[in-house]
């Protein structure tokens, strides 16, 4: 028999448990998630899941970290319309994907837990930092008014897409993303997101 490296086994267990977490979320939602069902689906002992992740929130937080770990480069297409379109397309890629959808829905359900809230805040802080770069370039090019607030732009790009996923249950397609980007661009140009 080959010897199993502990690091490798630990990493494999983590991947199996977090994949099982997402599969359970896709099937049953956060309301239906249990340590038992995750352990069973992952083929590990329940005690392992409890020992390593502690709670359902602990599992969710680690799943969010694990699956959201592919960092996207900051768009730099040469104009604000193109940059916003790329950001909206990145949001769409997450929200139109079953794993992304399951994790976003779980975040909404468990957003009152402090650990989960912290992950959400960190995500939006990162997104706003990326948007700040894009906005700064657009202000320098004279495309957007000085004082345009990156946090407002950041929230506005995703809002119609999250709305379609979570509230109105409408299609998430390229046209929806492009419209979201065009709406933000128009509002930002009009100074809606600029400090008065």
- Residues of this chain that interact with its own copies (CB under 8 A) are 29-31, 104-105, 107-109, 111-112, 117, 120-121, 124, 152, 155-156, 158-160, 162-164, 166-170, 179, 182-184, 186-187, 189-190, 192-193
Q: Which of 90, 93, 88, 96 is nearest to 170 (CA)?
A: 96
Nearest distance in Å: CB 186, its own copies: 4
Instruction: For residues 190 and 141, give the distance between their C-alpha atoms in angstroms, rounded to a whole number.
Output: 16
Residue 23 vs 48, nearer CB to its own copies: 23
Written as six digits, the tokens of 166 are 């979570």
Q: How far is the CB of 154 from its own copies (least distance, A)?
A: 9
Q: Give the nearest distance from C-beta 121 to its own copies in angstroms.
A: 8
Contacts 24+ apart (CB under 8 A), 121-125: 123/68, 124/151, 124/154, 124/155
Considering beta carbons, is residue 49 or 127 the nearer one to its own copies? 127
Compute the least distance from the CB of residue 9 to its own copies, in Å.
Answer: 33
Of the pair 76, 173, the CB lying nearest its own copies is at 173
CB 46 within 8 A of CB 39: yes
- 8 A C-beta contact, residue 64 and residue 119: yes
Q: How far apart are CA 90 and CA 95, in angstroms?
A: 9
For its own copies, the closer of residues 76 and 170 by Cβ is 170
* Rounded to 5°, angle at Cα 114 from 88 and 50: 105
Could you count the other beta carbons within 10 Å of the beta carbon of residue 174? 12
Taking the least distance from each CB to its own copies, the nearer of 49 and 156 is: 156
Q: What is the smallest separation between the CB atom of 125 and its own copies, expressed in angstroms?
A: 10
């Amino acid at each position: 028999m080959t010897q199993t490296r502990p690091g490798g086994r630990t990493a494999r267990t983590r991947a199996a448990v977090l994949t099982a977490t997402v599969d359970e979320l896709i099937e049953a939602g956060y309301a239906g998630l249990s340590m038992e069902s995750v352990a069973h689906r992952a083929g590990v002992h329940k005690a392992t899941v409890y020992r390593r992740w502690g709670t359902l929130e602990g599992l969710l937080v680690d799943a969010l970290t694990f699956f959201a770990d592919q960092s996207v480069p900051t768009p730099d297409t040469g104009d604000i319309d193109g940059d916003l379109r790329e950001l909206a397309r990145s949001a769409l890629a997450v929200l139109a994907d079953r794993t992304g959808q399951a994790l976003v829905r779980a975040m909404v359900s468990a957003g009152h837990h402090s650990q989960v809230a912290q992950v959400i805040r960190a995500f939006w802080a990162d997104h706003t930092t990326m948007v700040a770069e894009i906005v700064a370039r657009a202000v320098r090019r004279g495309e957007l008014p000085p004082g345009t607030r990156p946090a407002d732009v950041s929230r506005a790009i995703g809002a119609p897409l999250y709305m379609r996923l979570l509230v109105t249950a409408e299609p998430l397609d390229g046209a929806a993303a492009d419209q979201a980007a065009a709406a933000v661009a128009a509002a930002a140009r009009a100074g809606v997101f600029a400090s008065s």
